[in-house]
Amino acid sequence: SQHMETHGFQTEVKQLLHLMIHSLYSNKEIFLRELVSNASDAADKLRFKALSDDSLLANDSELRVRVAADKDAKTITISDNGIGMTRDEVMQHLGTIAKSGTAEFFSKLSGDQAKDSRLIGQFGVGFYSAFIVADKVTVRTRAAGADASDAVEWVSAGEGEFTIASIEKAKRGTDIILHLRDDAEEFLDNFRLRGIITKYSDHLSIPVEMPANVSDDEEQKQESWEAVNSGQALWTREKADISDDEYKEFYKSVAHDFEDPLLWSHNKVEGTHEYTSLLYIPKRAPWDLWNREQQSGIKLYVKRVFIMDDAKQLMPSYLRFVKGLMDSNDLPLNVSREILQDNKITRAMRNGSTKKVLSMLSKLAKDEPETYQEFWDTFGNVLKEGPAEDPANQEKIAGLLRFASTHNDSAAATVSLDHYLERMPEQQNKIYYIVADSYEAAANNPALEIFRKKGIEVLLMSERIDEWLMSHLSEYKEKPFQAVTRGDLDLGDLDNEDDKKQQKKVEKDFAKQVKRFKETLGERVKDVRVTHRLTDSPACIVTDDDDMSTQMAKLMEAAGQ
Ligand code: ADP
Ligand code: MG
C-alpha cells in the first residue's frame, strides 16, 4: 500500500479505548451490535443519497451486511456495501470523538468498573468497541462514487495510534477485520455469532448474512450467504406479534443502552397524518442530559427509509430523554432539517407524540407509583422545563410534578399536586409553596410558622429550576399558586373573624414601632409592615408580588445580570 501515514488518536479516544477494554469485559458481545449497526447506518445513508443520485448504487443495489469468522486466521470480518468513507472521513470518524462534552464526561468516571461500564454504555462506544475483542483492527473502505484505486485502509492496535494508507478495493463499502484477542476466541463460533445477531440485529431492515453452510468446502462457503435476521423493521410489525423481549432488545440497539428501558409506547397513527412512533423512556439519565447541545434521541424515517438521527423538531426539549423513532407516511423522502423546522406534518407528529409521552407517564404514575418515582428522581428536573416550553400541556405536566412538602416533612420529592388538593381544607383556595436554596432553608423558613400552626400544607421547593418553573405555572385545576414569602399574605377564609379583629388591634398597637423602623432603615427597604405570619420569629424579609423573588435575584446575580 502507498502513502502510509501514522497518526495519534485524540486524547479522548485513548481514554475511551482504555476504559472500554477495562470495564466492558463482561459485555464483550456488544461489539457486533455496534459494528453491524454502523453497517446498517451506512446502507441507510447510501439509500438516502441515492434518492437524488442513483448512479451511486452502480450495479450493486442489494444493500446488505455480511459477517464471517475465519477460525485459522482468528478473525471476524464485517463487510457492507453501504456508503463507505473517504480518506478525510476515515481520519475524522475513526480518530476522534465528535461528541461535545466528552472531556467532561471522562472526568466523571469513578474508577469503579460497574459504575463506569454503565456510564460508558450510556455514552455509546460505537466503532471503538471493536477493541473490546480485537487487538488489531483493519478497516478497508471505498466511498460510494469513488474509484477502486481511491480506497483507504486504516489499521490500529488501539494503543494510541493508527496508520492510514491508500489501497485498491474492488467494491464499494466497508470491510472491518477484527484480529481477535486470545480471550475473545469464543466469537469464532458461528453458532455464537448467529445468536448475537438475532439478539441485537433482528429488527434491522437490511439483511445480515452469514455463510450459508458450515461445510468444509471453502469454495462453496465463499459463495453462498443466507440472512440470519428476519429483516423486517420492528416498528412496522403488529403490536400483538412483538414480545416484550423484542421491544427491549430493540431499545438497547437504538439507544445504545445496556439496560432495559423503563417503559415504551408503540403507536400507529392514522387519519389526516399517518405515522408510526415507537417511544422509550430509559431507566437512567444519559451522560449529557444537561448538555445544552444535547442530541435528541429520536430518529426520523419516511416510509421505512431512515432519514436522520437527532430529529429535534419531533420532540420538545423538556422530553429530550425520550428515545426511539418516528416513521412518517406523509413527509417527502427528500425532507431536510429546514423543512422539518416549520411543517404541519412535523408539528402534528410532535404534538401527537408529546401527548403520548405525557399520557404514558400519567398512566405509570397511577398504576405503578414506585416505578414512577424512579422516573421522577431521574428525569423530574427536565420535565420541570415543560410548563415554560409547552404552555398548551401545562396542566398535564403539572399533574406529573412531585415536590417535598410540610405534609411529610421529608426532603424526598414525592407529593403530587393532586395529593395536595385532596388534603386541602374546603376554605383554602390557593396552593402554597416556598422556594429556597436548600430543603433545610425551605423547611425552616419563618414564613412557614403560621401555616404549620394552622395545619396548612406548603410545598417545599429547592431545586435550581423551581423558581423558573413557578414563574410559568400560575394555577393547577383552577387553584392559583401562592408563594408564602411574597407580598401581603392573605389567608382569606382561613382566618376567622376573631383572628382578623386581633390582627387589626396588633397593627394599631405597633404603628409607632413600624414608623421608627422605617425611619431607621430608610432607603434600604421598600416598606415595613406588621405581619401575622410569624409565630416564633420576630421578623422576616419578603418581596412584593410584582418584584423579583430573592431566589430569582440570586440566580440573576449568579448569571452575571
Ligand atoms: P455513531 O455510529 O454513533 O456515529 P460510531 O463510533 O459507531 O458512532 O461510528 C463513527 C462514525 O464512523 C460513523 O458515524 C460513520 O460516519 C463512520 N462509520 C463507522 N462504520 C462505518 C461503516 N461501516 N461505513 C461507513 N461509515 C462508517
Ligand atoms: Mg455506531
6-27 confidence digits (pLDDT tens): 999 988 888 888 888 877 777 8
Cell for 253?
440497539
Cell for 293?
447541545
Q: Using a 6 Å cutoff on CB, does residue 126 contact ligand 1?
A: yes
Would the annotation count 174 as a binding residue? yes
Has residue 221 got a pLDDT over 60?
no
Instruction: Give the pLDDT confidence of 39-88 residue by residue, as tens digits.
Output: 999 999 999 899 889 899 988 999 999 999 999 999 999 999 999 999 99
Q: pTM to 2 decimals?
A: 0.74
Confidence (pLDDT) at 38: 92
Cell for 561?
445580570
Confidence (pLDDT) at 522: 83
Question: Is the CB of residue 329 less than 8 Å from the CB of residue 356?
Answer: no
Would the annotation count 386 as a binding residue? no
Least Cα distance to 35 among 98, 123, 127 occurs for 127
Average pLDDT of 300-326?
Answer: 89
Would the annotation count 554 as a binding residue? no
Confidence (pLDDT) at 547: 60
Would the annotation count 122 as a binding residue? yes
The residue with greater pLDDT, 301 or 1, is 301
Residues 65, 191: Cα–Cα separation, whole Å: 17
Least Cα distance to 332 among 51, 50, 63 occurs for 51
Task: Work out which ligand 1 atom sits closest to the CA atom of 84.
Answer: 25
Distance of CA 13 to the CA centre of its chain: 22
Q: How far is CA 290 from CA 66, 247, 255, 293, 424, in A?
A: 38, 27, 17, 9, 35
Confidence (pLDDT) at 528: 80
Distance 174 CA to ligand 1 centre (A): 10
Confidence (pLDDT) at 265: 97
Alpha helices (H) along 424-549: 439-443, 449-454, 466-470, 497-509, 511-521
The residue with greater pLDDT, 290 or 61, is 61
Please state, for a pLDDT cut of 70, what percent of the chain lies above it. Answer: 88
Confidence (pLDDT) at 489: 65
Confidence (pLDDT) at 107: 76
The pick from 36, 38, 257 for probing ligand 1's pocket by mutation, whose C-beta has the most ligand atoms within 8 angstroms, reads 38
Residues 401, 380: Cα–Cα separation, whole Å: 7
Confidence (pLDDT) at 496: 67
Measuring from atom 10 of ligand 1, which residue has the nearest CA?
Answer: 93
DSSP bridge partners of 302: 305, 328
Confidence (pLDDT) at 283: 94
DSSP label at residue 522: G
Question: Confidence band (pLDDT; 50, 70, 90) for 258?
Answer: confident
Cell for 548?
423579583
DSSP label at residue 9: P
Cell for 1?
500500500
Would the annotation count 168 as a binding residue? no
Ranked by mean pLDDT, the top range of 38-47, 199-208, 396-405, 549-558 is 396-405
DSSP label at residue 424: S
DSSP bridge partners of 263: 281
Instruction: Give the pLDDT confidence of 350-391 residue by residue, as tens digits.
Output: 999 999 999 999 999 999 999 999 999 999 999 999 999 999
Instruction: Give the pLDDT confidence of 504-541 residue by residue, as tens digits.
Output: 777 788 888 888 888 888 888 878 877 766 666 677 67
Please state, for a pLDDT cut of 90, what percent of the chain lies above it. Answer: 57
- Ligand approaching nearest to the C-alpha of 125: 1
Instruction: Give the pLDDT confidence of 431-440 residue by residue, as tens digits.
Output: 999 999 999 9
In total, the chain counts a number of residues equal to 561
Distance 35 CA to ligand 2 centre (A): 7
Average pLDDT of 300-308?
Answer: 85
The residue with greater pLDDT, 114 or 344, is 344
Residues 527, 329: Cα–Cα separation, whole Å: 63
Instruction: Give the pLDDT confidence of 380-415 residue by residue, as tens digits.
Output: 999 999 999 999 999 999 999 999 999 988 999 999
Confidence (pLDDT) at 163: 97
DSSP-based three-state secondary structure for 379: helix
Confidence (pLDDT) at 559: 58
Q: How far is CA 4 from CA 143, 165, 167, 303, 326, in A?
A: 19, 4, 10, 43, 43
- Ligand approaching nearest to the C-alpha of 253: 2
Q: Using a 6 Å cutoff on CB, does residue 101 contact ligand 1?
A: no
Distance 450 CA to ligand 1 centre (A): 62
Task: Work out which ligand 1 atom sits closest to the CA atom of 125.
Answer: 6
Has residue 218 got a pLDDT over 70?
no
Confidence (pLDDT) at 2: 62
Question: Confidence band (pLDDT; 50, 70, 90) for 214?
Answer: low
Least Cα distance to 74 among 180, 176, 155 occurs for 180
Confidence (pLDDT) at 340: 82
Measuring from atom 12 of ligand 1, which residue has the nearest CA?
Answer: 93
Distance 306 CA to ligand 2 centre (A): 14
- Ligand approaching nearest to the C-alpha of 124: 1
Residues 215, 178: Cα–Cα separation, whole Å: 23
